[in-house]
Each structure stands twice: as structure tokens, then as C-alpha cells.
Amino acid sequence: MANFLVWVVWVGAAFGCLVSALGVVSFRNPFYSALALIGNLASLAVLFLLLSGEFVAAGQVLVYGGAVMVMFLFVIAYVGPRTESPWTGGPSWQAIGGVLAAGALLVEIVVVIGLKAGGDLAHSHDVGGAFGTPSYIGRRFLTDHLLAFEITSIVLLVAAIGGVILGAHSRTTPDEVPSL
């Protein structure tokens, strides 16, 4: 019974994930695309929970669904909705090339994973109850992966400085200094 419930939750989350990803790519209005991406992130968080990645799921909802998407919606509202219709007006060479390249990439991913790990994927290890909890992640971050932790903080600091510089109003006239 529990097995059946896990499958039901998995199918719902995976279906929501795929449909909302297609929605992001094909909606005309960027506002709807951003809303579809929120659905995509929420269903991905459910998949992470099924994979016993509790801390990553919480971080996904907080960082992506909260902070990043609010910033996206704010910028879309600031720039104004610019609709474009990606699937109308006949197939252009660019759309055909894009579909072919994406399909080739997908086939390549499937073939590589199937060839390299096809046999090993059937039997997975059992994980303990502590796997993926905040204390587990925190211990790994502060012991084995301390350098990655510090580099991440430096990357975030540099991004914050870059955002401030790009967003600041330049006091000079536009033809004097290229502010971009």
C-alpha cells in the first residue's frame, strides 16, 4: 500500500514537472512562464523529498520558489510584458535547429547513461534515516566540503556586488562612460 502511494506521488510530481517545463518554454507571456516555473520547482521539491533529500527540498522551495522567483516576477513587471509566439508563423530554420539540437542532446544523455550505468541502476543502496537531514548536510559542509562552502560564499558576494553595479544609476551622461 505504501509502495502504491509512493508511485502515485511520484507520477503526479513527475508529470507536473514535465508539463510545467513545457509550459515555461511555450507560453507567450513571460509572466505565465515564470508562474509555470514555480510549479516546476514545487514538483521538483516533491521529487527531492522522495529521494530523501529533505534539506535540499526545503532549500529549493525557499531559495528558488521564494527569493529567485519573486525577483523574476519583479523584473518582468518592471520591464513590461513582451509577448512572443514561439510556435506560430511556420517553422523557421532556427526553431528546427533548436528542436534537433535538444533532441540530439536528450538521446545522447539517455545513451550515455544507459551504456555506462544501465546494469547498476537496478539495485540501489539503502540509506539511513539521517541521510539528507539538515544536521547531516551541515556536518558534511563543515568537515569534508569546507572549501566548497567558502567558495560558494565568495561567489554569492561577487554576484551581489555585480548586481549592485549593474543596477546602479550612473551619474554620468550616457555618451561619456559606457555604464554597461
Which positions from 37 through 96 interact with other proteins, judged by CB under 8 A?
37, 40-41, 44, 47-48, 50-53, 55-56, 59-60, 63-64, 67-68, 71-72, 75-76, 78-79, 82, 84, 86, 94-95
Alpha carbon 170 to its chain's center: 32
Q: Which residues neighbour 9 within 8 Å (Cβ) at sequence distance 6 or greater?
A: 46, 50
Q: Does 150 contact other proteins by CB under 8 A?
A: no
Please tell me the distance from the alpha carbon of residue 13 to that of residue 11, in angstroms, as a whole number: 6
**Cβ atoms of 25 and 86 closer than 8 Å:** yes
> What's the grid cell of residue 173?
551622461
Shortest distance in whole angstroms from residue 144 CB to other proteins:
8
Shortest distance in whole angstroms from residue 89 CB to other proteins:
12
Please tell me the distance from the alpha carbon of residue 153 to that of residue 146, in angstroms, as a whole number: 11
> What's the grid cell of residue 171?
551619474
Alpha carbon 92 to its chain's center: 28
Shortest distance in whole angstroms from residue 90 CB to other proteins:
13
Q: Does 18 contact other proteins by CB under 8 A?
A: yes
Please tell me the distance from the alpha carbon of residue 160 to that of residue 148, in angstroms, as a whole number: 18
Nearer to other proteins, 90 or 174 (CB): 174
Shortest distance in whole angstroms from residue 172 CB to other proteins:
13
Nearer to other proteins, 90 or 122 (CB): 122
Candidates 12, 77, 134, 160; binder of other proteins (CB under 8 A) is 160
Give how many residues touch other proteins by CB under 8 A: 84
- Report DSSP state, residue 86: T
Nearer to other proteins, 84 or 171 (CB): 84
Shortest distance in whole angstroms from residue 176 CB to other proteins:
14
